Homo-oligomer: A and B are copies of this chain.
Amino acid sequence: MQLHGQNLIGNSLSKGTGAAYRGVDPTTGTDLEPAFFEAAESDVNRAMDLAAEAFDAYRRLTPADRARFLREIAIEIDKLGDELIDRANRETALGVERLRGERGRTVTQLRMFADLIEEGSWVGARIDRAIPDRKPLPKPDVRRMLIPMGPVVVFGASNFPLAFSVAGGDTASALAAGCPVVVKVHPAHPGTSELVGGAIIRAAQTCGMPNGVFSMLHGRGPEISIALVKHPKATAVGFTGSLHAGRALFDAAAARPRPIPVYAEMGSANPLFLLPGALHERGELIAQGLKQSVTVGVGQFCTKPGIVVGLDDEETGRFAGRFSQLMQSAPPGVMLHAGIHTSYLNGAKQVASIPGVNVAAAAEPAGAQAVPTLFTTDGQTFLKQPRLAEELFGPSTVLVVALSRDQLLDVARKMEGHLTATIHGTADDLRDYAELVDLLQQRVGRLIFNGFPTGVEVCPSMHHGGPYPATTDPRSTSVGTAAIERFARPICLQNFPQDALPPELRDDNPRQIWRLIDGQWTRDAVALR
């Protein structure tokens, strides 16, 4: 398939400003063909206007129609076959196997949201029946459900060119909710983006979706991003990326005449605690698993464990030695793009220069490749140096050896918001460190016991979020079925006649969904009083 390099404004193409850029093969540093054209401000306006028009038709479609569209996108992505994987690999160097897995996750997510809206209970229907003879005032009939917010702006993430990009979780959940989507392409994988964007447009046409239900714009600087977020017709924003960029979008959205929510997932350092019993029982297994979790995908996961905390004792000493060996022998890897690699090198240098921090496994540059790096330090130094608590994106981690149980708890107490924290311990450890469990719950979105934070299960109970600076909204998740709730809001209908109600709120419950009727969950019809 010939790539055209243009912006997708609904079903038409635009060369925007004419300013062109190219994808880059991070392994060789060479440009990839063809050129991609940055969007003009007029493209932003056309895409958003079309999205607002499309919203009028799209939100009225049945859930079955929207589900068919989502499934058709999955089919079209699968149809791209090896061409998609090859292009993504050339643009990101993430490897064919990983990218196949990520494609699987992407189409699974699309199908999961199709299933979710077809089943229908996600709208959280609530019904309170009237009591006409209540004293002193009659009780009205009140019914409530979630409806879509409107056009959503989605930003592609560099580290998941498929699952958190053009047709990733943000796009899938917004389309499922009934919201048109305008994607801002991540410039590190423009070709991959065009292939997936084309798949969405073909699916939209096959399913007779309104023109403008999906658009996709290119832009390297912040101008197009900010213009999208500030556009009067935008109603919500989904973003995965850096704290710096996420905060800039949040600030722009909050300063609008009509503020809109920005769901920015901005990464975290994902502290991991090693308790004594666990190290004694299975130190070797933990060292191996941790090495894998730190270095998989060249450490480019927002859930990579970047801080490891143990107690100053013999078991931790033995663990540190073994873990250091494993990190030392872990192969270097090509990072997503030159900018990320430079940030990793600079960040690693900064960390290494902090007094009291040792480099226990090599951090020397190896050409274009990033070297797995283990820093070690003591609890005192960690508590004094805020830089050590920040995310360093890449295959590195900091092992913090705490002098005492109290200092270990202080390390936890000092932490800001993270996506995850992990505890390795025995049942006895967990009882001895109940306070640690409690402290960490206050600071993270997900707490893992005897596992590793990388690998985020896509399911209804998943929460991929956390207190700031992990995200801009700790109530929201960007993974799992609850992600759809970010793009919906309640509407309440009072005293409506049956035939003017949406099916979800009718007495006879034609959609057979779960509803909260007079405070009880049920799939039954509304009973007569």
Chain A residues within 8 Å of B, Cβ to Cβ: 60, 119, 121, 126-128, 137, 139-140, 142-144, 147, 149-150, 250-251, 254-255, 258-259, 261, 416-417, 427, 430, 434, 437-438, 441-442, 444-451, 455, 457, 459-463, 465, 467-469, 472-475, 477, 482, 485, 488-497, 499-500, 514, 516, 518-519, 521
Additional 11 contacts, C-beta under 8 A, given A144-B463, A460-B516? A128-B461, A139-B457, A139-B459, A140-B448, A144-B462, A427-B500, A434-B500, A445-B492, A475-B485, A482-B490, A521-B521
Given A457-B128, A459-B128, residue A447 in contact with residue B494 (CB < 8 A): yes
15 contacts between A and B (CB under 8 A): A142-B462, A150-B442, A254-B255, A258-B469, A427-B500, A430-B497, A444-B491, A446-B493, A448-B494, A449-B495, A457-B494, A463-B491, A465-B490, A475-B490, A482-B490
Q: Are A492 and B446 in contact (CB under 8 A)?
A: yes
Instruction: Point out the residue from B128, B142, B251, B461 that lies within 8 Å of A126, measured CB to CB.
Output: B461
A293 to chain B, nearest CB (A): 13
Instruction: Point out the residue from B259, B449, B493 that lies within 8 Å of A493, measured CB to CB.
Output: B449
The answer for the CA separation of A434 and B499 in the assembled complex, in Å, is 11
Instruction: Point out the residue from B128, B459, B469, B491 that lies within 8 Å of A142, measured CB to CB.
Output: B459
Q: Are A461 and B492 in contact (CB under 8 A)?
A: yes
When distances are taken between beta carbons in the complex, the residues of chain B under 8 Å from A459 are 128, 139, 142
The answer for the CA separation of A467 and B148 in the assembled complex, in Å, is 12
Q: Are B460 and A126 in contact (CB under 8 A)?
A: yes
The answer for the CA separation of A444 and B493 in the assembled complex, in Å, is 10
Residue picked from A119, A457, A514, most chain B C-beta under 10 Å: A457
Instruction: Point out the residue from B143, B261, B460, B491 that lies within 8 Å of A473, measured CB to CB.
Output: B261
Given A126-B460, A259-B472, A461-B142, residue A451 in contact with residue B251 (CB < 8 A): no
Q: Are B455 and A137 in contact (CB under 8 A)?
A: yes
When distances are taken between beta carbons in the complex, the residues of chain B under 8 Å from A472 are 259
The answer for the CA separation of A139 and B60 in the assembled complex, in Å, is 36
The answer for the CA separation of A46 and B450 in the assembled complex, in Å, is 40
Instruction: Point out the residue from B137, B450, B473, B497 that lies within 8 Å of A495, measured CB to CB.
Output: B450
A473 to chain B, nearest CB (A): 7
Instruction: Point out the residue from B127, B251, B437, B491 that lies within 8 Å of A445, measured CB to CB.
Output: B491
| Copies of chain A in the complex | 2
When distances are taken between beta carbons in the complex, the residues of chain B under 8 Å from A493 are 446-447, 449
A389 to chain B, nearest CB (A): 14
Q: Are B451 and A495 in contact (CB under 8 A)?
A: yes
The answer for the CA separation of A278 and B293 in the assembled complex, in Å, is 67
The answer for the CA separation of A447 and B492 in the assembled complex, in Å, is 6
Residue picked from A258, A261, A461, A499, most chain B C-beta under 10 Å: A461
Closest to A253 in B: B254
A429 to chain B, nearest CB (A): 10
Residue picked from A149, A416, A516, most chain B C-beta under 10 Å: A516
When distances are taken between beta carbons in the complex, the residues of chain B under 8 Å from A491 are 441, 444-447, 463
A432 to chain B, nearest CB (A): 12
Q: Are B468 and A490 in contact (CB under 8 A)?
A: no
Q: Are A451 and B500 in contact (CB under 8 A)?
A: no
A385 to chain B, nearest CB (A): 18
A206 to chain B, nearest CB (A): 27
When distances are taken between beta carbons in the complex, the residues of chain B under 8 Å from A485 are 475
Given A250-B259, A492-B445, residue A461 in contact with residue B144 (CB < 8 A): yes
The answer for the CA separation of A457 and B143 in the assembled complex, in Å, is 11
Q: Are B519 and A460 in contact (CB under 8 A)?
A: yes
Q: Are A457 and B497 in contact (CB under 8 A)?
A: no
Q: Are B449 and A497 in contact (CB under 8 A)?
A: yes
The answer for the CA separation of A417 and B149 in the assembled complex, in Å, is 12
The answer for the CA separation of A450 and B493 in the assembled complex, in Å, is 11
- Ranked nearest first, the 5 interchain pairs of A and B with the lowest CB-CB distance are A254-B254, A463-B492, A446-B492, A126-B461, A142-B461
Closest to A119 in B: B519
The answer for the CA separation of A258 and B427 in the assembled complex, in Å, is 35
Instruction: Point out the residue from B149, B254, B492 that lies within 8 Å of A250, measured CB to CB.
Output: B254
Instruction: Point out the residue from B451, B475, B489 that lies within 8 Å of A489, measured CB to CB.
Output: B475
A114 to chain B, nearest CB (A): 14
Q: Are B490 and A445 in contact (CB under 8 A)?
A: yes
The answer for the CA separation of A119 and B66 in the assembled complex, in Å, is 36
When distances are taken between beta carbons in the complex, the residues of chain B under 8 Å from A441 are 147, 491
When distances are taken between beta carbons in the complex, the residues of chain B under 8 Å from A149 are 474
Residue picked from A417, A477, A492, most chain B C-beta under 10 Å: A492
